[in-house]
Amino acid sequence: MAGRFKSDLKWSDVTPEAAFLDRRALLAGGAAMAAGLALPRGARAGALEPNTLEEITSYNNYYEFGTGKTDPKAYAGGLTTKPWSIEVGGMVEKPGNYDLADILKGKSIEERIYRLRCVEAWSMVVPWNGFELKDLLDQVGVQPGAKYVAFETLYRPEEMPGTRYPVVPWPYREGLRLDEAMHPLTILATGIYGKPMPNQNGAPIRLVVPWKYGFKSIKSIVKITLTDKQPPTSWNTIQAREYGFYSNVNPNVDHPRWSQATERRIGGGLFSPRIETQMFNGYGDEVAGLYAGMDLKKYY
């Protein structure tokens, strides 16, 4: 678990930007739910042909803008992302509303090439730009006794038309155990492919946890709370049988409606060869120690 970020992934492994942003590519891979995810060491992605500009932003999942796949493209552009602040509270030494510009001052914004994994069995390689969540938590000071970190997405119905309907209990919520949050692989991302984060992908700041399924990587964060109790999370609240709190990639635990033992790489097409899903999305060397002694079929 200890140590700084390391990866043997290279730019030659990266999923082309167009394929990442174009969720229609998911259909070619037989997938359905692109929640906005993260990737593992040693993984290799096949070469893909670039997509058109129209394709780049035309198929996304971001329910705050509607459940239709073209809704984020149609409505996310109206989201105001400047100025932006994050309320940090709970069991911290320095609670308050922190302006994002102030948070980023002095932060080392690194490029992290991670593997993304969706629960419907597709994967890709994406270069995120961001900084370790630990850096922010150290900045605000975690109090003794804190065990979890809770996150909330922006709730702004006037700019997020999907929140006018009870698709999920708004605002969208996620959470991590404190040791997961402090792990060097866990980052707050502010961009992809060396560019600012697109609105439909979670601008201006989102979580990326590469050994978990994508829905753990909450978008457009406005609130972070340190707590001694396991926080409620949106998908677990809606359907606990399908979405556990931990949501670690585990090929030995099937989703109730499909197997998670194999996956396809984005861009390969419906008939591309399936590959075996790696435990912890391929990051077992780095994170398995976090779950020593846990029943990972019970705590999925």
Q: What tens digit of pLDDT does each residue of 267-283 get?
A: 565 667 888 999 999 99
* 241 token code pair: 């049988």
Lowest mean pLDDT among 12-26, 168-182, 225-239, 242-256: 12-26
Q: Is the pLDDT of residue 53 over 50?
A: no
Contacts of residue 105, defined as CB under 8 A and 6 or more positions apart, other chains included, come to none
Distance of CA 264 to the CA centre of its chain: 19
Sign of CA dihedral 73, 187, 15, 12: positive
* 35 token code pair: 């929640």
Q: pLDDT-based confidence at 228, cuts 50/70/90?
A: very high
pLDDT on residue 60: 65
Question: Could you tell me which residue, 218 or 115, shows the higher pLDDT?
Answer: 218
pLDDT on residue 45: 33
What is the pTM assigned to this prediction? 0.85
- Mean pLDDT of the chain, nearest integer: 84
How much is the average pLDDT of 134-148?
98
> What is the share, in percent, of the chain residues with pLDDT greater than 70?
82
Looking at the domain that runs over 11-291, which CATH code has it been given? 3.90.420.10
pLDDT on residue 5: 57
pLDDT on residue 201: 87
Q: Is the pLDDT of residue 195 over 80?
A: yes
As to burial, measured by CB atoms within 10 angstroms (0-12 exposed, 13-18 middle, 19+ buried), residue 80 is exposed
Domain range summary for the chain, segments of one domain joined by +: 11-291
